[in-house]
Amino acid sequence: MQAATPTPLPRAAPFWLSLTLIPLAWLGAWGGGLWIAVLPLTAWYLLPLIDVLVSNQLLNPNPETPHDRLGWYRLVTLIWVPVQFVTLFGILGWVTRSDHLTTGEEAALFLTLGVISGAVGINYSHELMHQRARLDRWMGDILLAMVLYSHFRSEHLQVHHRHVGTPRDAVTARYNEGFFRFFARVLRQCAVSAFRAEAAMLARKGLPWHHRSNPFWRYAALQLGFVALALLVGGAWGVVLFLLQAFVAIWHLELVNYIEHYGLTRRYLGEGKYEHVLPRHSWNATQRVSNWMLINLQRHSDHHYKPDRPYPLLQTYTEAEAPQLPYGYGVMGLMAMIPPLWRRRMNPRVRAWRKRYYPEITDWSAYDRGLPPLPR
């Protein structure tokens, strides 16, 4: 039986758009000053503006496309790992060994590098951790370790996907919960819930939490290795710069988590059980350029419905099938950082979602407090 013919590069090329951010990072490192702002301005303002000007992507690929036809799509996620590594530590070594940037410019530069390692790097790690190939999963672990957020893999696969839309999922943002309160909460809860999930899995195998197969040992080793490398390359100031980009990367991740499920909950069935995850339990967005940059992350409704589906095959949904965001993630992220504006725009959509899909539920107070309600 012959292998399927790979999809040609031109068809996959739009999803390589993220690589255009790399020269902008080096431009900021070289020029300093206002040149540092080019990267975040491009990511946060220019690309969302282009989204407004071009048509949305409403067409769906054939979900039965053989995975061995997706080589060019997969390759960009694998290439990104060495590209991000060289960019991050190359710039770290350069600016800490030269005097062409001020201390403030160096700090600002690494805050902007967190846009790359967060909006792109963690997003790519998310795709890689869902794949079966061991290489892909290792590459995902390396990307997460570069931002000191390795537990995200355990939390995402074992907690978030299993408990999304329920009180047991910390990263399902509650109705009326502002982003800053959400961010503080998930920083406290997610690492703990991820560790407990891994310990519970080991216990089911009759093994203690400290068994060598616990991935938290690998997480710790990789993260300590990158901190040590930052110290070796840039000294103590290099570690500070490394931590700055890691913080901004984590901020981007949790900002996206906040947007993806805000106010959406699954119906409680009683006895600790909830309805199956459906497309209606995640916000969907169809903005074309943002989906290219974020490798279809905005088709999040389908990702939770079919978690094993590779990003090129993710489906989009109509308003009748899944709730729709008014804008792409770029605009929604800026809006989320202004809680009154966010609530003014999104709370009516959540209420409309409740009326559309769960008209029989009249008391949402328990859901809003993150508590399992009494079954009807």
Q: Where exactly are the structural domains of the chain?
A: 11-368
Least Cα distance to 146 among 214, 203, 187, 92 occurs for 92
- Model pTM? 0.94
Across 317-330, average pLDDT? 94
pLDDT digits (tens, 9 = 90+) for 176-186: 999 999 999 99
Residue 256 CA from chain centroid, whole number: 6
**Helix H segments across 262-324?**
288-293, 300-305
Side-chain-side CA neighbours of 295 within 13 Å: the count stands at: 27
pLDDT digits (tens, 9 = 90+) for 119-135: 999 999 999 999 999 99
pLDDT at 4: 59
pLDDT digits (tens, 9 = 90+) for 191-241: 999 999 999 999 999 999 999 999 999 999 999 999 999 999 999 999 999
With residue 274 as reference, give the H or E element that holds it: strand 273-274
| Separation of alpha carbons 298 and 290, rounded Å | 8
Average pLDDT, the chain: 94
Which residues, including other chains, have CB under 8 Å from residue 111's CB and lie 6 or more apart?
A: 244, 245, 248
Q: What is the DSSP letter of 67?
A: G
Number of alpha helices (DSSP H) and beta strands (DSSP E) in the chain:
17, 2
- Inter-residue contact 93 to 234 (CB < 8 Å): yes
- Inter-residue contact 247 to 262 (CB < 8 Å): no
138-142, 201-205, 209-213, 358-362: which has the minimum mean pLDDT? 358-362
- DSSP string spanning 14-27? GGGGGGGHHHHHHH
| Band of pLDDT at residue 57, cut at 50, 70 and 90 | confident
| Band of pLDDT at residue 8, cut at 50, 70 and 90 | confident
Q: Euclidean distance between the first and final Cα of the chain, in Å? A: 54
pLDDT at 1: 36
pLDDT digits (tens, 9 = 90+) for 187-200: 999 999 999 999 99
